[in-house]
Structure 1
Amino acid sequence: MPHVIVKLYPGRTEEQKQQLADEITKAVMAAAGSAERSISVSIEDVPAEDWAEKVYRPDIMERPDILYKKPGYNPL
């Protein structure tokens, strides 16, 4: 039952978000062998001014053990 959470800056349209969710679903199906019905995807808009404290610090910096793709930036 994979659940994927995507956090990104605001500005994408609903159509872009739906396309992203569709592509993530396809990738999870292919890579993890999950059935489409078992996959869920949520997308959360996070303002740029909140990114460091709401995303970078708690989800990236403080959880390196579960981070499989490291970013090439450091906003701190």
Structure 2
Amino acid sequence: MPNGVACTVSNCSFWKEGNGCNANEITIEIDQHSSHPYKEEFAGEEFGLSHQDQAKQSKATCCLTFNPKE
């Protein structure tokens, strides 16, 4: 794995053989915020985008870096 992040979502454009994530950076959010549109480029402090959350279990999180292969 190039960056040490394990992933089994083989239809992601960042997935590489051996269950590795080849993204330079990943974004992970808790599920309750996973539908937030992070497409804008604003200062996070001003718009509340730099929040910190706590997840009780890993299944309560999701990777927002996912980009399907074409």
**TM-score by structure 1 length?**
0.21
Greater fraction helix: 1
Q: Normalized against structure 2, the TM-score is what?
A: 0.22
